[in-house]
Amino acid sequence: MAKKNPHLNPETFRDSLATVQEDGKRNWVYPKKVSGIFYKYRSYLSWVLLAILFAGPFIQMNGRPYMLFNIFERRFIIFGAAFWPQDTYLLIFLLLIFFVFIILFTVVFGRIFCGWFCPQTLFMEMVFRKIEYLIEGDANQQRQLNEGPWTGEKFVKKGIKLTIFAVISLLIGHLVMAYLVGVDQVKTIVSQPPSANMAGFIGLIAFSGIFMFVFSWFREQACLVVCPYGRLQGVLLDNNSINVMYDYVRGEPRSPIRKNQAILEPKGDCIECSLCVQVCPTGIDIRNGIQMECVNCTACIDACDEVMVKVDRPKGLIRYASENSIKQGFQKLITGRVKGYIVVLCILIAAFVTLIATRDDIKATITRFPGMTYQEREDGKVTNLYQITLINKTFESQKVELKSLVDGIEVELLGNQELILDAQSKFEGRFFLVRNQDEVKVNQEKVKLSVIYQGEELDKIETNFTAPIN
């Protein structure tokens, strides 16, 4: 038997959650299969987006990944540009731009992202749900199967479904790891015994397990109780934001179609068929207005449009619209608030582009060797020891030179090594500054060092040179 959806009562829907029963147990949502123009276009788009998502880690530029989010080594490659821990300020800028863009997009277009682009919705509705329909049938058949006894048929259906779910979860787990550590590293992890790459192996299993849990059981709860974006809707949306909305002006007072209705008092277009509720993957009734649980999946639009065609009324009783467009009949997209966000976004993008354009390819840091002051040599020279750290952010090997800008002070690299940096690498070395003892005039003097890269001064670094006065 279908459980009564508490949201069908407009007086009490805000006092309860569609997915939680009165005794606190989970109210499992069985969304009815939907078809229609929006579902068709969402399906097409989902295949394109899933193809891009799965191809992402394999896309390379000059042998390097195009996208890499190696949080373990704090190394990121975004659209081919490498970011090091020293570039954290750039990543913070990038995140700020992303957040302001999301806010701006949400203020104007509501949660379109959730329904059309979010990976959770893509996988849940366009992959796992479709497989479930294929194996277990539509909503009523699924409910009967779940509530019925464990027969041979139920074992087979559940077994096949969970096996396929597990395989896809493993695929997604490997995909996420490929974005984090790169495809080559994932290949190494899977081709060697687990003990050879225990951390990587645990990562693969953990991610796969999480996806299996989310898509086979947790489902819409990820959007309702975990996703912070959904929870922000209350502060982001206003009466001009476009959302999936029920046109209550046209739809109310709702009433089932009855014979001789024409002679009764006029009724709204909603015929109370409840199909919009039956297809909703989060179990809500959109006729109660915008709700945090609505992921803008458009299933209710398709379902209602189909009904409207059948009862010979115009489509769009549920449609993309704003509260103002329904209530007052006009739509204003570019409000003062939107203009404000656009200005902030432009400033952030301009600042980010400037920072990227002026970012050094090589980063140099020089510090005195801890615990040492000076050393006196038998040949009458005095030396100070320093540490140099160089980071090559480019994808080519680079040679760097170090020169003293003070007459009489020379740079002497330890072991006479050259400062040659491998691509995308960090180099740590030591060097002496050397001065003739008889030229020392003060105990401590400032020394400027020039870091030269590709024949040009990359950086000028100031340090101290300490020596005794005889």
- What residue ranges bind ligand SF4 (CB under 6 A)? 244, 246, 251, 254, 270-276, 279-282, 284, 286-287, 294-300, 303-304, 307, 317-318
Tell me the closest approach of the beta carbon of residue 335 to ligand SF4, in angstroms. Answer: 23
Tell me the closest approach of the beta carbon of residue 125 to ligand SF4, in angstroms. Answer: 9
To 5 degrees, how large is the angle CA 6–CA 18–CA 225? 155
Tell me the closest approach of the beta carbon of residue 246 to ligand SF4, in angstroms. Answer: 6
C-alpha to C-alpha distance for 372 and 364, rounded to whole angstroms: 21
Q: Name the residue nearer to ligand SF4 (CB basis): 133 or 395.
A: 133
Q: Name the residue nearer to ligand SF4 (CB basis): 212 or 280.
A: 280
Total length of the chain: 470
Tell me the closest approach of the beta carbon of residue 134 to ligand SF4, in angstroms. Answer: 21
Q: Name the residue nearer to ligand SF4 (CB basis): 52 or 225.
A: 225
Q: Name the residue nearer to ligand SF4 (CB basis): 223 or 400.
A: 223
Tell me the closest approach of the beta carbon of residue 220 to ligand SF4, in angstroms. Answer: 8
Select from 197, 224, 159, 316 the least CA-distant residue to 27. Answer: 224
* Position 302, amino acid: D
Tell me the closest approach of the beta carbon of residue 135 to ligand SF4, in angstroms. Answer: 23
Q: φ, ψ for residue 184 (rounded to 5)?
A: -60, -40
Tell me the closest approach of the beta carbon of residue 44 to ligand SF4, in angstroms. Answer: 18
- Cα–Cα distances in angstroms (integers) from residue 440 to residues 381, 435, 451, 463, in the given order: 10, 7, 24, 16
**Do 271 and 257 touch, CB atoms closer than 8 A?**
yes
Q: Name the residue nearer to ligand SF4 (CB basis): 42 or 381.
A: 42
Q: Name the residue nearer to ligand SF4 (CB basis): 304 or 461.
A: 304
Residue 463 half-sphere exposure, CB side, CA atoms within 13 Å? 27
* Position 347, amino acid: I
Place of tokens 């002026």: 358
Residue 464: CB atoms within 10 A of its CB come to 13
Helix (H/G/I), strand (E/B), else coil: 297:
coil
Select from 376, 404, 407 the least CA-distant residue to 388. Answer: 404
Q: Name the residue nearer to ligand SF4 (CB basis): 226 or 351.
A: 226
**Do 202 and 225 touch, CB atoms closer than 8 A?**
no
Place of tokens 């458009």: 298
Tell me the closest approach of the beta carbon of residue 301 to ligand SF4, in angstroms. Answer: 7
Q: Name the residue nearer to ligand SF4 (CB basis): 274 or 463.
A: 274
Q: Name the residue nearer to ligand SF4 (CB basis): 312 or 407.
A: 312
Strand ranges (DSSP E) for 355-404?
Answer: 362-368, 375-376, 381-392, 398-404
Residue 310: CB atoms within 10 A of its CB come to 11
Q: Name the residue nearer to ligand SF4 (CB basis): 41 or 155.
A: 41
Tell me the closest approach of the beta carbon of residue 270 to ligand SF4, in angstroms. Answer: 3
Tell me the closest approach of the beta carbon of residue 107 to ligand SF4, in angstroms. Answer: 18
Residue 405: CB atoms within 10 A of its CB come to 13
To 5 degrees, how large is the angle CA 209–CA 118–CA 29? 65
Strand ranges (DSSP E) for 19-102?
Answer: 60-61, 64-65, 68-70, 75-78, 81-83
Residues 6+ apart with CB under 8 A from 78: 67, 94
